[in-house]
Amino acid sequence: MVSAAVAFEAGAGSSLDLRGVSHRFALEGAPLDVLDAIDLRVGAGEFVALLGPSGCGKSTLLRLVAGLDPPSEGELFADGEPIAGPHPSRVVVLQDPTLYPWRTVSANVALGLEARGVLRAQRARVGETLRLVGLSEFANAWPHQLSGGMAQRVALARALVNDPKLLILDEPLGKLDSLTRLTMQGEIASLWRRAGFTALLVTHDIEEALLMATRIVVLSERPARIKADIRVEKPYPRHRGDPELVARRHEILGLLGFESAW
Amino acid sequence: MSLISALPARAATIALRPAVAAALDHRTRAAALAFVAAAAWLLVAFVILRWPDLGDWGRGPELAWASVALAAILIVSGALAATGSTRLGRLQRATPWLIALGLVFSAWEAGSAKLGWLAQPFFPPPHAILEVFTDDWPKLGESIVASVKLELLGFALGAAVGFLVGVLLGRSRLFGYWVHPVLRLIGPLPAIAWLPIAFFAFPSSWSASIFLIALTTGFPVAVLTWSGVASVNPAYYDIARTLGASRAFLVFKVAIPAALPQVFVGLFMGLGASFAVLVTAEMMGVKAGLGFYLQWAQGWAAYANMYAALIVMSLMCTSFVSILFRVRDRVLSYQKADLKW
């Protein structure tokens, strides 16, 4: 296990290096191949969106990067070190906020500090992080009292309190209403620009990927392979109607097999 | 005054009238109920004092005067209700029950002590039961203390062991391999079946009873704790692990708090089942406690003592249940906040 006193420098993102990563699930009878020889390098501070058809293995890839599961084959490195398990510098935000219902909002945000045994020394960070996501007034509320968007903001704060070098976002906005979603797309992008962590985002929403990411990796049907790796060099804040983004969107839809949908 | 200008004023009085009438109606109803309840308790006193007892039971006059006192309080509360005061409000809410109880006590007195319709000595009159409380309270009190001590020790031990076993079953494969079959085999067996073995295997019937109560409590607590720990959302663990949680953190700060609602279900089931074992154990072996008192009273055909012990026993059991409810509401208070954004 990681030593509790690891200090994370704000503003430093992790680089990632995935070499020949394959993964399969041992289902009854035939094993199910999910990832097929994925090679991917992500530079420090990049914002990479993973796009692909439903069930292609995007979330599995995130679990491997987070260190929650070991890959069947291949190797993963973060900052040159092999990923052998979860590490508090690589934090996950899931589609469901999965806040602990028995903890108040601030106690949920404090989770990472508490788990690493630094809560006493860094308690002030809880309030700071809640302020960052605009929920200072709700510090003492219970999770079930929050709306979906607020709960997801708390989940984001819980991740950010650890000062992650890599933020892993597994469809974090997938269940939110479209207006909350628009707001939070902008918020996450600006948090990323300010803090400088590396971000890995799985999404179904091409527009979301185009608005937020510096790079879009398109995956194939299961078992997932990398189909395209597209750089999006456009300053922030980006606009949905931007002709270049619209053209990119058309291109990606084509890659996913939806040429006629335009 | 023109018709049109008079209209709003009339509308106002019409609107006001039902509200005032309803309030007045409520007051007279509350007052009437209190007076009827007072009459019912005066009837109890009247039945006791008017006719002589068929047998030799004590504390008749005392019960009668207590009934008169209750009736007097009810009259005061009725008068207060008529003026719209909310003092003695709790008593006012209980008036329908007090009417029913007054009538039942009157009928009971008449049927047992005065007319002998209820077979004696099996159904003594209420004032005979009162006599047990006033004259035999040292023995009764001793029995209560013994029962509470036995129940608390057995329940606490069973709950603690059951909880520990449940958590270990939920978290450790090896522990589950060995303990799960044992639990399946032994758990559903009524603890009473162990009674003969327990009484000679343990140094005293008292420690045997503690074991039996603990066993009865422990089984449902273990099973429900286990199912609670096993059904924790796996994402809770994933989140904690990526945030740097140790194994101990996953158990104490994730698994156990997430399982607590289920644990309380197990505690309630165990508590309910443990009462049966408590009373049986006291009747069969332990020479103390309410179960023993009950049996002793039956042996002497002291039926009034039996009823008194039954009343105390039910009060004790219901108190235990209410205390557990209080504890649960406190521990799981997070489920209660209903204000939502």
Handedness of CA B156, B162, B167, B173 (dihedral sign): positive
Cβ contacts from A onto B, under 8 A: 87
> A27 CB contacts (<8 Å, ≥6 apart)?
none
Per residue in B139-185, pLDDT (tens digit) is 999 999 999 999 999 999 999 999 999 999 998 999 999 999 999 99
Per residue in A154-182, pLDDT (tens digit) is 999 999 898 899 999 998 888 888 888 88
B57–chain A nearest CA distance, Å: 57
Q: Which CATH number fits domain B137-333: 2.60.120.10, 3.30.70.100, 3.40.50.720, 1.10.3720.10?
A: 1.10.3720.10
pLDDT value of residue B340: 57
Considering only residues B255 and B3, tell me which one the structure prediction assigns the higher pLDDT: B255
B324–chain A nearest CA distance, Å: 19
B226–chain A nearest CA distance, Å: 19
A230 C-beta neighbours (distance < 10 Å), count? 17
Cα dihedral B194→B197→B201→B205 (10° resolution): 70
Strand partners, A167: A91, A199
pLDDT value of residue A260: 66
Question: What is the chain A residue with the closest CA to B330?
Answer: A102
pLDDT value of residue A4: 36
A11 pLDDT more than 60:
no
> Can you read off the two tokens belonging to residue A255?
């890659």
Average pLDDT of chain A to the nearest whole number? 86
Considering only residues B207 and A234, tell me which one the structure prediction assigns the higher pLDDT: B207
B92–chain A nearest CA distance, Å: 37
- Domains of chain B, by residue range, sit at 9-120, 137-333
Phi, psi of B118 (to 5 degrees): -85, 130
User: What is the mean pLDDT of the segment spanning B111-121?
Assistant: 85
Phi, psi of B116 (to 5 degrees): 70, 25
Give the Cα separation of B305 and B128 in Å (integer): 9
> Can you read off the two tokens belonging to residue A258?
């939806």
- Comparing CA positions, the residue from A158, A36, A22, A29 lying closest to residue A96 is A158
Residue type, B322: S
Per residue in A49-70, pLDDT (tens digit) is 998 887 778 888 999 999 999 9
Mark yes or no for CB contact A115/B245 under 8 Å.
yes
Per residue in B52-73, pLDDT (tens digit) is 888 788 888 899 999 999 999 9
pLDDT value of residue A250: 84
Mark yes or no for CB contact B257/A114 under 8 Å.
no
Question: What is the chain B residue with the closest CA to A167?
Answer: B242
Structural domains in chain A plus CATH codes: 13-24+33-89+165-262 (3.40.50.300), 101-163 (no CATH)
Per residue in B15-41, pLDDT (tens digit) is 566 677 777 788 888 889 999 999 999
Question: What is the chain B residue with the closest CA to A110?
Answer: B243
A3 to A219, B244, B288: CA distances (angstroms) = 36, 9, 57
Give the Cα separation of A17 and A152 in Å (integer): 29
Q: Say if CB A197 and CB A166 are below 8 A apart.
A: yes
ipTM: 0.88
A168 to A89, A198, B311: CA distances (angstroms) = 10, 9, 63
Mark yes or no for CB contact B242/A68 under 8 Å.
yes
DSSP track, chain A: ---TTPPPPTT-PPPEEEEEEEEEE--SSS-EEEEEEEEEEE-TT-EEEEE-STTSSHHHHHHHHHTSS--SEEEEEETTEE--S--TTEEEE-SS----TTS-HHHHHTHHHHHTT-HHHHTHHHHHHHHHTT-GGGTT--GGGS-HHHHHHHHHHHHHTT--SEEEEESTTTTS-HHHHHHHHHHHHHHHHHH--EEEEE-S-HHHHHHH-SEEEEE-SSSB-EEEEEE---PSSP-TT-HHHHHHHHHHHHHTT-GGG-
Give the Cα separation of A216 and A231 in Å (integer): 6
Mark yes or no for CB contact A100/B258 under 8 Å.
yes
Burial A104-133 (b: 16+ CB within 10 A, else e): bbbbbbbbbbbbbebbeebeebbeebbebb
Q: Say if CB A250 and CB A239 are below 8 A apart.
A: no
Nearest-CB residue to A92 (from B236, B238, B245): B238
pLDDT band at B14 (very low <50, low <70, confident <90, very high): low
Three-state SS at B188: coil
